[in-house]
């Protein structure tokens, strides 16, 4: 029905359909898009085989009973990702049959395209070679309206409809990771019942689901003004309303009572479909407005930035714990210091940083730009930061080797994502134990990434006069010459790994009467063949080989010569595969000597950031 050839066109396609009657014996797609911009596959190619395998697996899955499938199959460039979503009231058996029909039809209608999407009444199926999970996508989309009858009392009808959809949107958004769906009825003018249904793919966050649906609302006057039925349908969310019952009320869990007050997360959708903006590289950028939060809402969430809510103070400002009116706990970072950046640039940077989503990164949920305030709102990560555990004599016993190893692996993957997988190629520049937060399952999440972007510090590899970092973790070339690169993060990672292994801070390891820095100590012991003696004695589990390998990898990361250090991709590989032979490390950079120390002090660097282990947010 529609083939989209270039990304920029694909962005703004919004097709308007008219549907006549809901009885349709021979089901066909409501609509579909074959998307050319992601390339074609050839007949009998690996990609095609993977696609077929994946789609038959997906549509025959009997384990999932909540109507959402996010599966992928294949390797590297032949990897296929697919999402199947059934309307929330559709029974599992009907869901499978709808997805099976979609599978057959969509691959026929789009015989070459690597990416395609199609909708039936009861389900949506989409696939692509790019990653499509856990992200809000608002196009390609389309709208439909019922042309049979016009509404007589339009104003009243719209008022009831708006309230109905508002309450459905808030209850669907707050659904769980299996189901973000709500349906209900309301009484319109002349005692006519209006039925509404809204749904998001449940892999979206609450905020994304809300943004997607709220962003779709302005389509109603355009597509469906004074019509008795309408739908707005997007890849990540859709809604529909009618004056007849079109869903099965027996499979609709009661929507939760709508919030009495409007949600604190005040979104400001613009009147046009601002949500469909995308950067030219195809990364979806959420609208500059959808992540924007009200200052009053932030005040309310943090008790007016009360001291009781304060979690910590970092180099870029204070951090407060907050609770939005919808109950969500957040960490609110009130930025201090003056960035030279204009508001527009700040917004753009926030939107880019918010696109960085990885399970080992703290998620940026929104921002506020009002009354000269610049505020960032993050997900709240409950288990404090790593420094609270590893440097605490008693608490560190909670961290056995298995946990520490998992934390090291998670940090490595998060950092790899920042360096290579995220398209933005972010250099963290201040990786340290207090910037690693732990969630309830003790998964590590890197915080404070992207701050250099937000403070308009030059981004690309190069020289900088403003050094942002923490003494002890900073690579010597960065401290002394202001030269930074992904390899300076690798250095900090190596330091961090040694700290995790030893439970000692970088700057002070007691060796008899002497205080030696951790790198010097680790290197000396390594040379003496006694490397395991630096390991925290509370670690009693774990294989000696695995621990030795981690020390070895850490020493590779802290080598003085930048080009000798591995990149994060190699680090992740070395951590995961024992068949990779590790090169011998050369001497690490020792920078605790008077020569470099005097250089450090003459550099312009941020005082607040220079003491390790205490400046952190979310760690009260
Ligand atoms: C992909 O195949 C379609 C036909 O199915 C064709 O129209 C289109 O030009 C092809 N695109 C590329 C990039 O080869
Ligand atoms: C693909 O494989 C089928 C059966 O294996 C064969 O009949 C068909 O000719 C092949 N098509 C191409 C383009 O190779
Ligand atoms: C689908 O794939 C999963 C794992 O990839 C496998 O466990 C399952 O058996 C497959 N199901 C079918 C029906 O092929
Ligand atoms: C899926 O569709 C194919 C082709 O229409 C059909 O042969 C097959 O029986 C269907 N499978 C299921 C489980 O419905
Ligand atoms: C998808 O395939 C196209 C064409 O082969 C390619 O240009 C693109 O990089 C692929 N995308 C991903 C994420 O692999
Ligand atoms: C409904 O209203 C539109 C204009 O808004 C008009 O063109 C159309 O004829 C009306 N249809 C009916 C059935 O009254
Ligand atoms: C409207 O929904 C309520 C449940 O919320 C249900 O009890 C009632 O029967 C529905 N009304 C109609 C006319 O379907
Ligand atoms: C699939 O979706 C669920 C949420 O419904 C999410 O927890 C999970 O991480 C997703 N899987 C992938 C591979 O993204
Ligand atoms: C949002 O971005 C668009 C285009 O980038 C711009 O025209 C618009 O003014 C921005 N809105 C605000 C409120 O800054
Ligand atoms: C926060 O400040 C506003 C006025 O700025 C005041 O009305 C409100 O009561 C304060 N709330 C708290 C919890 O202190
Ligand atoms: C934090 O970690 C501990 C294990 O050390 C765990 O028992 C607890 O559930 C975690 N979550 C919170 C919120 O403390
Ligand atoms: C950075 O500064 C050093 C001297 O300190 C110089 O040799 C080098 O070329 C500079 N690099 C860049 C990218 O400007």
Ligand 8: residues whose CB is within 6 Å? 68, 70, 133-134, 177-178, 202-203
CA 394 to chain centre: 33
Task: For residue 146, give both structure tokens.
Answer: 């019922």
Q: What is the pLDDT of residues 35-69, one digit of tens each?
A: 988 899 999 999 999 999 999 999 999 999 899 99
Q: What is the DSSP track for 588-608? A: BPP--SHHHHHHHHHS-B-GG
pLDDT at res. 27: 60
Instruction: Supply the residue whose CA is at minimum distance from atom 8 of ligand 12.
Output: 463
What stretches of 363-403 adopt beta strand conformation (E)?
Answer: 364-370, 373-379
Kindly state if the Cβ of 129 falls inside 6 Å of ligand 5: yes
Q: Is the pLDDT of residue 98 over 60?
A: yes
Q: What is the pLDDT of residues 398-416, one digit of tens each?
A: 899 999 999 999 999 999 9
Q: What is the DSSP track for 230-291? A: EEEE-SSEEEEEESS--S-GGG-PPPPPPPSSPPSS-----SS-GGG-B-TTS-B---TTTT
| C-beta of residue 70 within 8 angstroms of C-beta of residue 203 | yes
What torsion, rounded to 10 degrees, do the Cα atoms 353, 358, 362, 363 define?
60
Domains of the chain: 30-128 (3.30.430.20), 142-259 (3.30.430.20), 287-379 (3.30.200.20), 386-610 (1.10.510.10)
Local confidence band at 341 (pLDDT 50, 70, 90 cut-offs): low
Q: Is the pLDDT of residue 579 over 90?
A: no
**Among 185-199, 200-214, 577-591, whose mean pLDDT is lowest?**
577-591
Mean pLDDT for 22-42 is: 74
Per the model's pLDDT, the better-predicted residue between 273 and 213 turns out to be: 213
Q: What is the mean pLDDT of the chain?
A: 79
How far, in Å, from the CA of 598 to the mean position of ligand 4? Answer: 74
333 annotated binding-site participant: yes
Q: Is the pLDDT of residue 554 over 50?
A: yes
pLDDT at res. 2: 52
Q: What is the pLDDT of residues 480-503, one digit of tens each?
A: 777 778 999 999 999 999 999 999
The ligand placed nearest to the CA atom of residue 618 is: 11
pLDDT at res. 453: 62
Mean pLDDT for 369-374 is: 81
pLDDT at res. 339: 56
Catalytic residue among 89, 166, 430, 448: 430
Per the model's pLDDT, the better-predicted residue between 47 and 290 turns out to be: 47
Kindly state if the Cβ of 182 falls inside 6 Å of ligand 7: no
Mean pLDDT for 117-129 is: 95
Instruction: Supply the residue whose CA is at minimum distance from atom 3 of ligand 1.
Output: 112
Mean pLDDT for 139-158 is: 83
Q: Is the pLDDT of residue 610 over 90?
A: no
How far, in Å, from the CA of 57 to the mean position of ligand 4? Answer: 12
Mean pLDDT for 501-530 is: 78
pLDDT at res. 599: 28
| C-beta of residue 476 within 8 angstroms of C-beta of residue 453 | no
pLDDT at res. 507: 63
In 85-120, which positions are buried (b, 16+ CB within 10 angstroms) versus exposed (e)? bbbbbbeeebbbbbbbbbbebbbebbeebbbbbbbb
pLDDT at res. 513: 58
Q: Which atom of ligand 1 is nearest to the CA of 34?
A: 5
Q: Is the pLDDT of residue 456 over 50?
A: no
pLDDT at res. 260: 30
Q: Is 430 a catalytic residue?
A: yes
pLDDT at res. 101: 93
What torsion, rounded to 10 degrees, do the Cα atoms 112, 285, 141, 208 define?
120
Quick one: 305 exposed, middle or buried, by C-beta within 10 A (0-12, 13-18, 19+)?
middle
Q: Is the pLDDT of residue 24 over 70?
A: no
In 383-393, which positions are buried (b, 16+ CB within 10 angstroms) versus exposed (e)? bbbbbbbbbee
Percent of the chain residues past pLDDT 70, beyond the cut = 78
Mean pLDDT for 351-370 is: 86
Best-predicted range by mean pLDDT among 126-135, 153-162, 185-194, 417-426?
A: 126-135
pLDDT at res. 458: 44
**Among 208-212, 230-234, 289-293, 510-514, whose mean pLDDT is lowest?**
510-514
Percent of the chain residues past pLDDT 90, beyond the cut = 42
pLDDT at res. 219: 82
pLDDT at res. 331: 93
Mean pLDDT for 270-294 is: 39
Task: For residue 63, give both structure tokens.
Answer: 């384990």
Q: How far from each other are the two terminal CA atoms of the chain, in whole angstroms?
A: 56
Mean pLDDT for 598-612 is: 25
Q: Is the pLDDT of residue 601 over 50?
A: no
Task: For residue 487, give both structure tokens.
Answer: 């390899």
Beta bridge partners of 385: 437
Length of the chain: 620
pLDDT at res. 470: 66
> How far apart are alpha carbons 322 and 332 in whole angstroms?
6
Pick from 462, 209, 451, 499: nearest CA to 333: 451
Best-predicted range by mean pLDDT among 482-486, 502-506, 559-563?
A: 559-563
How far, in Å, from the CA of 577 to the mean position of ligand 11? Answer: 29
Ligand 9: residues whose CB is within 6 Å? 288-289
């Amino acid at each position: 029905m529609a083939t989209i050839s270039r990304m920029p066109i694909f962005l703004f396609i919004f097709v308007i359909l008219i549907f006549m009657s809901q009885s349709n014996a021979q089901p066909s797609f409501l609509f579909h898009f074959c998307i050319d911009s992601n390339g074609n596959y050839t007949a009998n190619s690996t990609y095609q085989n993977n696609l077929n395998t994946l789609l038959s697996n997906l549509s025959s899955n009997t384990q999932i009973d909540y109507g959402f499938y996010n599966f992928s199959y294949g390797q590297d460039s032949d990897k296929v990702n697919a999402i199947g979503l059934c309307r929330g009231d559709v029974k599992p058996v009907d869901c499978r049959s709808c997805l099976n029909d979609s599978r057959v039809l969509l691959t026929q209608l789009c015989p070459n395209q690597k990416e395609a999407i199609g909708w039936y009444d009861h389900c949506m199926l989409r696939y692509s070679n790019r990653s499509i999970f856990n992200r809000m996508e608002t196009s390609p989309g389309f709208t439909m309206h019922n042309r049979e009858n016009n509404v007589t009392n339009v104003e009243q009808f719209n008022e009831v409809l708006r309230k109905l959809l508002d309450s459905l949107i808030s209850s669907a958004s707050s659904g769980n990771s299996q189901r973000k769906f709500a349906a209900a009825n309301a009484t319109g003018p002349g005692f006519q019942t209006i039925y509404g249904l809204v749904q998001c793919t449940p892999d979206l966050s609450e905020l994304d689901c809300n943004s997607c649906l709220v962003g779709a609302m302005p389509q109603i006057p355009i597509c469906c003004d004074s019509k008795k039925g309408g739908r707005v349908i997007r890849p990540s969310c859709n809604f529909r309303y009618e004056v007849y019952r079109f869903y099965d009320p027996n499979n609709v869990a009661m929507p939760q009572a709508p919030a009495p007050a409007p949600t604190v997360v005040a979104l400001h959708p613009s009147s046009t479909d601002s949500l469909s903006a995308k950067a030219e590289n195809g990364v979806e950028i959420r609208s500059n407005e959808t992540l924007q939060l009200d200052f009053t809402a932030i005040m309310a969430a943090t008790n007016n930035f009360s001291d009781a809510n304060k979690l910590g103070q970092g180099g870029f400002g204070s951090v407060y714990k907050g609770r939005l009116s919808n109950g969500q706990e957040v960490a609110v970072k009130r930025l201090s210091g003056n960035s030279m950046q204009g508001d527009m640039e700040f917004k753009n940077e926030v939107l880019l940083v918010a696109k960085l989503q990885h399970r080992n990164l703290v998620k940026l949920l929104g921002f506020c730009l009002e009354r000269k305030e610049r505020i960032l709102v993050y997900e709240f990560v409950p288990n404090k930061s790593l420094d609270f555990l590893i440097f605490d004599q008693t608490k560190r016993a909670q961290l056995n080797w298995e946990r520490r190893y998992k934390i090291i692996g998670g940090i490595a993957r998060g950092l790899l994502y920042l360096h290579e997988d995220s398209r933005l190629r972010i250099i963290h520049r201040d990786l340290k134990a207090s910037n690693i937060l732990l969630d309830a399952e003790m998964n590590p999440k890197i915080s404070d990434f992207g701050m250099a972007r937000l403070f308009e510090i030059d981004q690309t590899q190069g020289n900088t006069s403003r050094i942002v970092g923490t003494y002890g973790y900073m690579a010597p070339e960065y401290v002394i010459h202001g030269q930074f690169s992904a390899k300076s993060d690798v250095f900090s990672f190596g330091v961090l790994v040694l700290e995790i292994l030893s439970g000692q801070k970088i700057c002070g390891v007691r060796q008899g009467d002497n205080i030696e820095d951790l790198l010097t100590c680790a290197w000396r012991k390594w040379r003496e063949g006694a490397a395991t003696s630096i390991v925290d004695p509370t670690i009693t589990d774990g294989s000696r080989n695995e621990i030795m390998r981690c020390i070895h990898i850490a020493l590779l990361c802290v080598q003085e010569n930048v080009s000798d250090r591995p990149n994060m991709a190699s680090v992740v590989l070395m951590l995961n595969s024992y068949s990779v032979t590790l090169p011998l490390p050369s001497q690490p950079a020792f920078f605790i000597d008077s020569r470099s120390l005097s250089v450090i002090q003459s550099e312009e660097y941020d005082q607040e950031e220079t003491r390790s282990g205490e400046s952190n947010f979310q760690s009260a």
